[in-house]
Amino acid sequence: MSRLDEVFARTRSEGRAALVAYLPAGYPGVEGGIAALTAMVGAGADVVEVGLPYSDPLMDGPTIQQAVEVALRGGTRTPDVLRTVEAVARTGAVPLVMTYWNPVERYGVVRFARDLADAGGCGAITPDLTPDEAGEWIDAARAADVDTVFLVAPSSTDERIALTAKASRGFLYAASTMGVTGTREAVADTAAALVARVRRVTDLPVAVGLGVSTRDQAAEVAAYADGVIVGSAFVRRLLDAADDEVGRRAVAELAAELSRGVRRRGPAS
């Protein structure tokens, strides 16, 4: 049983969904990012996604792109991401990396899987890599005992969902809507239907991302999903902060709010 398996088994036994929180490494700086992620864990995040900054983030909306650009200009590279993972793992948290495929290929696929495992990372989400093109990554990840998290979307066929579930370990990432990341006034109504389709083909935990930013939205998604993924809302709190300390407090406050939401599991009464 992997550490992600343990997280979802624990949250399921507690009758709630897991809170999966994202920040890109290197924003507002490498040390500042580590401090923010640590604060989020202390406030209730069950799993943290450490984003690997990349110059062409196709899935990321303007909020995350803004932070990623700052991280890249500051010199954040893959070793800094792994250092962030290692620092977060030392707190007892469960970190994984969110990365586009090009940086992994440049770093070396086997080397990346091994170094991620050595840093205490439990897995990687690869949004632009499809399972049928991921043989090299799956082999390297399995050898390093790193979980492989792939994505499905409302447009995915039943056959594609089954293929993706078979290739995934840890959990399956269900994108609630077509498009890029970002906060939204409401979670797309396609999300629940997508999770139901996934459950017909696998017992793997399903975490929903894209659009969740409030406690009520987290509770809504937690009513039908195993995990609630939040990224842009955390990044926005850091972007709007006057300094690093204010930013840490802001993301901790949001993590605490969302943590209460995933425990409520349903619409506001």
Q: If you write DSSP's letter for every residue of 155-222 in order, what string do you get?
A: T--HHHHHHHHHH--S-EEEESSSS-----SS--THHHHHHHHHHTT--S-EEEESS--SHHHHHHHH
Question: What is the C-alpha to C-alpha distance for residues 61 and 255, in angstroms, rounded to an integer?
Answer: 21
Provide the residue ranges of all domains of the chain, joining segments of one domain with +. Answer: 3-264
Can 158 be counted among the known catalytic residues?
A: no
Quote the DSSP letter at residue 17.
Answer: P
Residue labelled with tokens 């992994």: 104
Quote the pLDDT of residue 14: 97
Rounded to whole angstroms, the Cα distance separating 73 from 30 reads 12
**CA 220 centroid distance within chain:** 18
Of 49, 80, 115, 226, which is the active-site residue?
Answer: 49
The tokens describing 193, both together, are 């239907």
- Digit-by-digit pLDDT tens for the chain (269 residues) are 899 999 999 999 999 999 999 999 999 999 999 999 999 999 999 999 999 999 887 778 899 999 999 999 999 999 999 999 999 999 999 999 999 999 999 999 999 999 999 999 999 999 999 999 999 999 999 999 999 999 999 999 999 999 999 999 999 999 975 444 434 454 557 899 999 999 999 999 999 998 799 999 999 999 999 999 999 999 999 999 999 999 999 999 999 999 999 998 665 54
Based on the residue annotation, tell me whether 31 is a catalytic residue of this protein. no
Q: Which two tokens stand for residue 31?
A: 């040390």
Distance of CA 186 to the CA centre of its chain: 19
Q: How far apart are CA 121 and CA 197, in angstroms?
A: 29
Both tokens assigned to 9: 């088994």
Q: How many helices (H) and strands (E) does the chain have?
A: 12, 9
pTM, two decimals, is 0.93
| Dihedral angle, C-alpha 259, 260, 262, 267, nearest 10 ° | -150
- In whole angstroms, what is the distance from residue 71 CA to residue 52 CA? 10
14 Cβ contact partners less than 8 Å away, ≥ 6 residues apart: 263
How many whole angstroms separate alpha carbon 64 and alpha carbon 44? 22
| Contact (CB, 8 A) for 48 and 24 | no
CA distances from 188 to 170, 193, 212 (A): 24, 10, 10
pLDDT at position 182: 39
Cβ atoms of residues 128 and 135 within 8 Å = no
- Residue 57 pLDDT: 75
Polymer length of the chain: 269
**Secondary structure string (H, E, C) spanning 25-55:** CCCCCHHHHHHHHHHHHHCCCCEEEEECCCC
Considering the candidates 14, 31, 60, 245, report the single residue annotated as catalytic.
Answer: 60
Both tokens assigned to 65: 């792109």
Has domain 3-264 been given CATH number 3.40.1190.20? no
